[in-house]
Structure 1
Amino acid sequence: MSVETDDGHGHGDGHHLPAVEDWPKGFGEASWWPFIAALGGSGFYVGVALFVLGRGSEPIINPVIGPAVFVLSTVAFLTGLYGWLYHAFIVDFWGGETTDYGFPLKLTMLLFLATEVATFGGGFVYYFFIRAGAWENLPAIVAEGDVLSTLVIANTLVLIASSITMHYAHHALLSGDRTRFVRLLGATLGLGIVFLGGQVYEYYEFIVHYGFGLTDGAYGSAFYGLTGLHGLHVALGAVLLSIVFVRALYGHYSAERHVSISTVSMYWHFVDVVWVFLVVVLYGGAIL
Structure 2
Amino acid sequence: MSEVHHGSYYVPHSSVWPIVGSVGLFTTMLGGANWLNGHSNTLFIIGLSIMIVMLFGWFGTVIRESEGGFYNAQMDRSFRWGMSWFIFSEVMFFAAFFGALFYAREFALPWLGGSAESKFGTHEFLWPNFETHWPTNGPGFVGGSFEVMGAWGLPAINTLILLSSGVTVTWAHWGLLKNNRRQLIIGLAATVALGFLFVTLQAIEYSHAYQHMNLKLSTGIYGSTFFMLTGFHGLHVTMGAIILSVVLFRSIAGHFTAEKHFAFEAAAWYWHFVDVVWLGLFVFVYWL
The answer, yes or no, to whether TM exceeds 0.5 is yes
Corresponding residue for 1:36?
Answer: 22
Compute the displacement of 1:114 (Å): 1.1
Picking from 178, 188, 191, the partner of 1:188 is: 191
Q: Is the alpha carbon distance of 1:164 and 1:150 closer, same or farther for their aligned partners in structure 2, counting shifts above 3 Å?
A: same
Picking from 134, 138, 147, the partner of 1:141 is: 147
Corresponding residue for 2:59?
Answer: 88
> Quick check: 1:168 aligned with 2:168?
no
How big is each residue's C-alpha offset from its partner over 1:125-154, in whole Å with a ceiling of 9 and x where there is no partner? 111111122354455423xxx521321101
Compute the displacement of 1:88 (Å): 2.9
Q: Is the alpha carbon distance of 1:91 and 1:186 closer, same or farther for their aligned partners in structure 2, counting shifts above 3 Å?
A: same
Greater length-normalized contact order (CA 8 Å, ≥ 6 residues apart): 1
Mapped to 1, the partners of 2:81 and 2:264 lie a distance apart of: 14
Compute the displacement of 1:37 (Å): 8.6
Amino acid at match of 1:271: V
Corresponding residue for 1:264?
Answer: 267
User: Does the CA-based 8 Å contact 2:97-2:225 persist in structure 1?
Assistant: yes
User: Does the CA-based 8 Å contact 1:162-1:191 persist in structure 2?
Assistant: yes
User: Does the CA-based 8 Å contact 2:192-2:245 persist in structure 1?
Assistant: yes
Unaligned runs of 5+ in 1: 1-10, 26-30, 52-63
Mapped to 2, the partners of 1:34 and 1:108 lie a distance apart of: 21
How big is each residue's C-alpha offset from its partner over 1:46-66, in whole Å with a ceiling of 9 and x where there is no partner? x98xx9xxxxxxxxxxxx9x9
Unaligned runs of 5+ in 2: 110-131, 138-144
Compute the displacement of 1:228 (Å): 0.6
Corresponding residue for 2:161?
Answer: 158
Picking from 167, 178, 181, the partner of 1:178 is: 181
Compute the displacement of 1:271 (Å): 0.7
How big is each residue's C-alpha offset from its partner over 1:170-206, in whole Å with a ceiling of 9 and x where there is no partner? 1110111111111001000010011011101111121
Compute the displacement of 1:83 (Å): 2.9
Compute the displacement of 1:92 (Å): 4.0
What SS does structure 2 have at the residue aligned with 1:141? Answer: coil
Q: Is the alpha carbon distance of 1:189 and 1:224 closer, same or farther for their aligned partners in structure 2, counting shifts above 3 Å?
A: same
Mapped to 1, the partners of 2:277 and 2:231 lie a distance apart of: 12
Corresponding residue for 2:112?
Answer: none
Alignment length (residue pairs): 246
Q: Is the alpha carbon distance of 1:141 and 1:244 closer, same or farther for their aligned partners in structure 2, counting shifts above 3 Å?
A: same
Mapped to 2, the partners of 1:110 and 1:74 lie a distance apart of: 31
Over the matched positions of the two proteins, sequence identity in percent amounts to 30
Corresponding residue for 1:244?
Answer: 247
Runs of 4+ more than 2 Å apart: 11-15, 19-25, 31-41, 71-86, 88-104, 134-142
Amino acid at match of 2:269: M
Mapped to 2, the partners of 1:203 and 1:174 lie a distance apart of: 39
Picking from 92, 98, 105, the partner of 2:79 is: 105
User: Does the CA-based 8 Å contact 1:44-1:74 persist in structure 2?
Assistant: no
Say which one has the larger Rg. 2
Mapped to 1, the partners of 2:62 and 2:21 lie a distance apart of: 19
Mapped to 2, the partners of 1:128 and 1:78 lie a distance apart of: 37
Q: Alignment RMSD, CA only?
A: 3.8
How big is each residue's C-alpha offset from its partner over 1:36-80, in whole Å with a ceiling of 9 and x where there is no partner? 399859x969x98xx9xxxxxxxxxxxx9x999xx9899778756
Q: Is the alpha carbon distance of 1:216 and 1:198 closer, same or farther for their aligned partners in structure 2, counting shifts above 3 Å?
A: same
Amino acid at match of 1:240: I
What SS does structure 1 have at the residue aligned with 2:215? Answer: coil
Worse overlay, 263-272 or 247-256: 247-256
> Quick check: 1:127 aligned with 2:97?
no
Picking from 59, 84, 92, the partner of 1:118 is: 92
Q: Is the alpha carbon distance of 1:266 and 1:211 closer, same or farther for their aligned partners in structure 2, counting shifts above 3 Å?
A: same
What SS does structure 1 have at the residue aligned with 2:284? Answer: helix
